[in-house]
Amino acid sequence: MAALFVGTQSFSQEIEDKKGIVAKNAELVKVQDGFEFTEGPAVNRFGDVFFTDQPNNRIHKWNALSNEVSVFKENAGRSNGMYFLLDGTLVAAADNKNELWAFDTDGNHEVWVTAFKGKKLNGPNDLWVRPKGGIYFTDPLYPRAYWEGRTKESEQTGQNVYFLSADRTELFAVAEDLVQPNGIVGTPDSKYLYVSDIGAKKTYKYEVREDGYLINKELFCEMGSDGMTIDERGNVYLTGKGVTVFNKNGEQIAHIPVPAAWTANVVFGSLDRKTLFITASDAVYTLQMKNRGVW
């Protein structure tokens, strides 16, 4: 497929880094621009990052070795948030018809979720695959101009977080008291899940039960987020106005400014998982880090 790579550009901006999590002398690098709105970065086992240009209905691939961007999939179901399974399946929150899709390595897809209790979902937005199995996803309501055959009102009773069992036989709500859940990420030991309620400008931390249900909700920080990721030390990366990093106690330890109107999402890429890959409006960026991401 045709490459879209056009070069890189560095940005020397003042990065607030209280704990030294950014690599020494590292600068934010613009990898590619010319998109409409980038989202949903997901890293495969080779360190390549797949991301969406949601308004243009495409999924792109950033090659971690060549630093080149190419088109992976056209007509991608208006995919938003994405995440890889260990077998290479790419799961996507496809809000063209308010579904969950799964892509194989050739870009062929199948639909995994079409509704909840016989009614359309609001529009799956972001997701996290639990290492022990199962998928958590957020379902906020963002009415889309491209929706056909449905109203712009919610068919669900609220904007919730759902859990899909590993065998895909069970789908149930696990958080039903949020204003507008969006970003979501869990810890690699499957014990905790972070959910951003962007509508309330807060992020919460939950304990994860073996059966997928969430318990012991607690406020993590007074900030909402579009997309989220986590590193090996348990630091949580929130997005919106640049990237803001909190330690596991909910204390802000870093802020990474990004020259874009909105920073939508973030993930750790490259084989060593030390490249922070940032999707921000019409462009994607990288920044070298000391800490590794988890996958």
Contact by Cβ (8 Å): 76, 66: no
| 231-260 mean pLDDT | 97
pTM for this predicted structure: 0.94
Residue ranges and CATH numbers for the domains of the chain are 9-288 (2.120.10.30)
pLDDT of residue 144: 87
- The per-residue pLDDT for range 154-172, each reduced to its tens digit, is 889 999 999 999 999 999 9
Counting Cα atoms < 13 Å in the Cβ hemisphere of 52 gives 27
Q: What is the 3-state secondary structure (H, E, C) of 71-101?
A: EEEECCCCEEEEEECCCCCEEEEECCCCEEE
CB 91 within 8 A of CB 110: no
Contact 110, 140 (CB under 8 A): no
pLDDT bracket for residue 153 (50, 70, 90): confident
Q: Specify the pairing of strand 171-175 against strand 181-186.
A: unpaired
Residue 23 gets which letter from DSSP? P
